[in-house]
Amino acid sequence: MSFFAQSVDWDFPVPIHYGPGRITELSSICDYNGIRRPLIVTDRGSRDLPFLSLARKILDTAGFAVNVFTDISPNPIDKEIMMGKSVFEEGKHDAVIAIGGGSGMDGGKAISLVSNNNYKLWDFDNDKTEVKDISIFPSLICIPTTSGTGAETESTAMVTNRDLGMKLCVWHPNQKPVAALLDPELTLDLPKNLTAWTGIDALVHAIESYCINSLHSVADGMALEALNLIGNNLELVIKNPTDIQSRGAMLIGSCLAGISFKKGLGLVHAISHMVGAIYNTQHGLTNAILLPAVLRFNKVEISHKIETLNYVTFSKPGNFDDFYNNICNLLDNLEILNGLEGIGVKKEKVLELAKKASKDSAAKTNPRLASVAELENLIIESLSRAR
């Protein structure tokens, strides 16, 4: 069947409230959604950051019965999610406010899935197909404080299964955030390295989703505008971290890239999920190191999209080599490590990583399917001199 002779269904996410300073509207967003006893969830690394005390103060002042749960690792672990469920249920909370970067928001979203029901976390595994009877979940509000994960408009969360040593995706089609609140002022204090790593994560979301050869024009449109915003602003925001203009563009770009990967992701994420699960590495940095090898692997299958990718991201025409070199120059300018060895990955784990990555849902949507041996090669190529 020709490409545009297909029938497809696309859905669109949730209300998104964007603007500098709009964190102050958190209490009115809770009011609007009938929330009285929210549990704020973030990761341990954000426990002392100003955005957490600010969110709490706004809700305390407005008379909400608010509590905070911060026992979430950089790569959230299953037992932490179940601890959060206990806190939620014992506190008789009625909503989760998931605030932070990818780990804080994923932790909050996963807690919202398992709270007030008797299912186990892994019943929400993306790969399971049994129908679940849950129609009502706790209300969920997502507030990103990095411009990277783009996880604010969906209930999908990546959680590490300690028994399997794998990161798995949990979600439910009936759980969606009631609102995403995008305030670029919350990203102004993000350090240079995290700004770069999370920014590349967003860039990779848009590239991987756009390169999938399936019909999803809504996602493709989101991915291209994301690349335009990220390509034009990532280096600017590194040079001038307090520029609200660039911070705002990056936050919107990250959100759009996050929506775009409803279409799927690719081998960068398939491998990165498993590296993160085994070595607890920073997700965006891991992606940044892996991106060049995966682009080389996909070269033929994405050739018809390269001109658009290069023009939109780097504002100039070019072929695959131009795009590849532009990406590598960007990674160099952002001082990205040039090998997985630099973040602790050992050669003896390559086969295990490859086997696990081959089972990741993102491996199944990559434009070129990879065997375990090909995945091994990609990881070996990325150990040192990755670009």
SS3 109: helix
Tell me: does residue 360 bind Fe ion (CB under 5 A).
no
> Between residues 286 and 310, which has the closer beta carbon with respect to Fe ion?
286
SS3 114: helix
CB of 106 to Fe ion, least distance (A): 10
CB of 27 to Fe ion, least distance (A): 31
CA–CA dist 154, 265 (Å, integer): 15
Give residue 323's identity as a one-letter amino acid code: F
CA-CA-CA-CA torsion sign (103, 108, 112, 118): positive
> Between residues 105 and 375, which has the closer beta carbon with respect to Fe ion?
105
- Closest-by-Cβ residue to Fe ion is 201
For residue 185, give Cα distances in angstroms to 50, 108, 253, 297.
Answer: 11, 21, 15, 38
CB of 363 to Fe ion, least distance (A): 14
Using the contact rule CB under 5 A, the part of the chain among 13-21, 176-184, 198-206, 238-246 near Fe ion is 198-206
CB of 201 to Fe ion, least distance (A): 4
CB of 300 to Fe ion, least distance (A): 24
> Between residues 115 and 153, which has the closer beta carbon with respect to Fe ion?
153
Q: Which two tokens stand for residue 4?
A: 């545009």
Tell me: does residue 201 bind Fe ion (CB under 5 A).
yes
Using the contact rule CB under 5 A, the part of the chain among 35-43, 136-144, 151-159, 201-209 near Fe ion is 201-209
CB of 183 to Fe ion, least distance (A): 21
CB of 291 to Fe ion, least distance (A): 11
- Residue 305 · residue 210 · CB < 8 Å: yes
Q: Which two tokens stand for residue 240?
A: 């001038």
> Between residues 201 and 376, which has the closer beta carbon with respect to Fe ion?
201
Residues in binding contact with Fe ion, number by CB under 5 A: 1
- Residue 167 · residue 73 · CB < 8 Å: no
Q: Which long-range contacts (CB under 8 A, 24 or more apart) does 372-379 make?
A: 374/297, 375/267, 375/270, 375/271, 376/350, 376/351, 378/267, 378/271, 378/290, 378/293, 378/294, 378/297, 378/354, 379/271, 379/340, 379/345, 379/350, 379/353, 379/354
Tell me: does residue 154 bind Fe ion (CB under 5 A).
no
> Between residues 203 and 224, which has the closer beta carbon with respect to Fe ion?
203
End-to-end CA distance of the chain: 38
Using the contact rule CB under 5 A, the part of the chain among 78-86, 160-168, 200-208, 220-228 near Fe ion is 200-208
> Between residues 203 and 375, which has the closer beta carbon with respect to Fe ion?
203
Q: Which residues bind Fe ion (CB under 5 A)?
A: 201
